[in-house]
Amino acid sequence: MKSVILYIDKVSEPMEELAIQSFRDSLQLKFLYPKKGQQGSLEEADYILDTHAKVTKDLIDAAPNLKMIQRTGVGYDNVDVEYATSKNIAVSVTLGTNASSVAELVILYMLAMFRNLIVLDRQSKAGIWDNWKYRHQSFELSGKTIGIIGGGFIGREVMKRLKPFGVRIIYYDVNRLSPRLEEELGVEFQAKNALLARSDIISIHVPWSENNRWLIGTKELAVMKEGAFLINTSRGPVVDQNALIEAVKAGRIAGAGLDVFDPEPFHKDSDILKFDNIITTPHVGAATKDNFSRAYIFCAKNIFNFDQGIKAENIVNGL
């Protein structure tokens, strides 16, 4: 019998169909919460496919045959990796497939913030024809300095898309890019504080770890160029959210674009929702059909190889 892959998220019917198509020539794909697909259970799962669902100790214990947990994304903070490792269960992530989707959202944030798109859309729909008020608060990207914190897959995709806008791109990463890649991308390496002080927009693209908790906090926000914007599509705790709110409230920075929060989801009464100059989206940076088509195909191949005794790619716990 074929090994069983169990998708443990509550996916929509179109996403379920996309997954079925992608796994068709692989192993048995079943769903913990099926729409039309085949019902499966944790007890029979050899592999778990996971997008947002929490993979806890209890869930792992409920799957006695489990060999690998395959994430459809790059992060794994929703998986109890330590416990999985203790049970000799591999944890794999999907590197790179989401980079273009997240990068395009970042560019969208930049343009929307610079042109006050959200508030102008809302006013226009309310019958308010105010085409003067925001002229002195609207800008072109051309000629501005954009700071990228994190030079990985997503950070580099943002750099590629920014180049045609005629901006100066500076970046910081604990691991500097090669001189060849810096030249190819048209970017300059800067120390973190120098980047904070010089950038008109800062976009964060670092992996989640406790070392990156509050990478941008009160001190960093104070160093930022007055009137700059901050974008975070990495993980919520990378930015001290309360400090960010205070910086926006005080007018220290001009606003923010946030796809991730601490906690998630945020409370409906959160202060983060009180500002027209903070754009919020519900952690959808990677949420495009194009990305998931690539991700599912990678996951299907990766799990199939692992099942055939071939070492899987992107294992995060060394198994």
The mean pLDDT of 171-180, rounded to a whole number, is 97
Among residues 29, 77, 26, 11, which one has the least CA distance to residue 287?
11
The mean pLDDT of 154-163, rounded to a whole number, is 98
The model's pLDDT over 63-92, given as tens digits with 9 standing for 90+, comes to 999 999 999 999 999 999 999 999 999 999
The mean pLDDT of 145-167, rounded to a whole number, is 97
Return mean pLDDT, the chain.
96
Decide if pLDDT at 26 tops 90.
no
Domain with residues 99-280, CATH architecture: 3-Layer(aba) Sandwich (3.40)
Q: What is the structure's pLDDT at 73?
A: 93
Using 50, 70 and 90 to split pLDDT, how confident is the model at 218? Answer: very high
Sheet containing 229-232, strands listed edge to edge, beginning at the edge strand earlier in sequence: 187-189, 168-172, 145-149, 201-204, 229-232, 255-258, 278-280
* Catalytic one of 156, 235, 294, 313: 235
Task: Using DSSP, state whether 47 is helix, strand or coil.
Answer: strand
The mean pLDDT of 11-28, rounded to a whole number, is 92
The mean pLDDT of 149-154, rounded to a whole number, is 97
Decide if pLDDT at 148 tops 90.
yes
Q: Rounded distance, CA 209 to CA 221, Å?
A: 20
* Catalytic one of 168, 213, 252, 283: 283
Give the global pTM.
Answer: 0.93
Q: What is the structure's pLDDT at 1?
A: 77
In percent, the amount of the chain with pLDDT more than 70 equals: 100
* Catalytic one of 13, 140, 188, 264: 264
Q: Is the preceding peptide bond at 64 cis, omega within 30 degrees of 0?
A: no
Domain segments of the chain: what residues?
4-97+288-307, 99-280
**Has 264 been annotated as catalytic?**
yes
Decide if pLDDT at 25 tops 80.
no
Helices and strands, counts by H and E, the chain:
11, 12
Reply yes or no on domain 4-97+288-307 having CATH 3.90.1570.10. no
